[in-house]
Amino acid sequence: MKRNVLLLLMCLLFSGIHAQNYKELFDKAARCEQADSLVDAEKYYYEALKAEPTNVHNCMIFANLGRIQYRTHRLEKALDSYNYAVNLAPLTVPILMDRASLLFEMGNTDKAYVDCCTILDVDKNNTKAVFLRAYLECNKHEYKEALADYNHLLELEPQSVSGRLGLAILYQQQEKFKDALELLNKLVVELPGDAELYVIRAGVEKDIRELDIALIDLDKAIGLSPDSSNAYLLRGEILLAQKRKGMAKQDFEKAIELGVPRADLIEQLKECK
């Protein structure tokens, strides 16, 4: 009897030490991550997983590993970690949202869309998921669905800049140029220092053949952000359409200097000769 009691006490003692080690490792990892010591944080998270591979909190560890691996630009590794986390906690919205964002960045838009739908089945008012799904629907030319999501987003956050901008781009794709310009004009008034807004508005102005007005917006955008490759690219296209080939070529070359692949502009450069 005494021997059985002793064994039980020893089991409880070692169990407590094991659990404490798991918590200590988790806490160490969290402190390292907070201090941007990401290599050490990752090491401690993996040690915690080895200490208790069946612990119910391991979904958090895998999610944290995914975040660290994303921050250190190991996207495939990060995706593996998020997949493990989702397998352990299939309907945990923050983990699903992180995975959806990663999938989107990796170009796997179909799976990102599925994650957004899963999130919205659980939390229909999750603004991040609503916005990302609307954006993906817009890119797939599912305009009715995208409009519904953007409208829902603006019901939740009427002043959302990303929501109103996304809706403006949707209107542009639907050739509802007046509606697009109305939204963009309001945004430019609210955010006069945002260079990208001028570029987007110039794109709509180009579509309606208001080329000189578009050039004014692009000059403003470049003044605000001299490294905007999109602004130089669009200005080059407009200048080329106006037969101002020398100036167009300069803008295309500047866009290439700022990161646009030369192969993408071969035809435009040929037209500049």
- C-alpha–C-alpha distance, residues 15 and 7, integer Å: 12
Average pLDDT on 141-164 reads 97
- C-alpha–C-alpha distance, residues 179 and 150, integer Å: 14
Q: What angle do CA 230, 104, 161 make, to 5 degrees?
A: 55
pLDDT band at 91 (very low <50, low <70, confident <90, very high): very high
Q: What angle do CA 230, 233, 235 make, to 5 degrees?
A: 105
Q: What is the pLDDT of residue 6?
A: 43
pLDDT band at 32 (very low <50, low <70, confident <90, very high): confident
Range from 38-42, 96-100, 164-168 carrying the lowest mean pLDDT: 38-42
Q: 174-195: per-residue pLDDT in tens?
A: 999 999 999 999 999 999 999 9
DSSP calls for 94-148: HHHHHHHHHHHHTT-HHHHHHHHHHHHHH-TT-HHHHHHHHHHHHHTT-HHHHHH
Sorted by where each begins, the domain ranges of the chain are 33-90, 107-192, 210-273
Average pLDDT on 89-116 reads 97
pLDDT band at 124 (very low <50, low <70, confident <90, very high): very high
CATH of domain 210-273: 1.25.40.10
- For residue 144, pLDDT beyond 70: yes
- For residue 20, pLDDT beyond 60: no
Q: What is the pLDDT of residue 83?
A: 98
pLDDT band at 16 (very low <50, low <70, confident <90, very high): very low
Specify the higher pLDDT residue, 76 or 1. 76
- C-alpha–C-alpha distance, residues 81 and 60, integer Å: 10
pLDDT band at 270 (very low <50, low <70, confident <90, very high): very high
Distances (CA, A) of 154 to 47, 168, 217, 269: 44, 12, 26, 42
Homologous superfamily assigned to 33-90: Tetratricopeptide repeat domain (1.25.40.10)
Share of the chain above pLDDT 90, in %: 86
pTM of the model: 0.86
Residues 6+ apart with CB under 8 A from 150: 134, 163, 166, 167, 170
Q: Evaluate whether 107-192 and 210-273 have a shared fold.
A: yes
- For residue 11, pLDDT beyond 50: no
The CATH architecture that domain 107-192 belongs to is Alpha Horseshoe (1.25)
Q: What is the pLDDT of residue 28?
A: 86
Residues 6+ apart with CB under 8 A from 194: 187, 188, 224
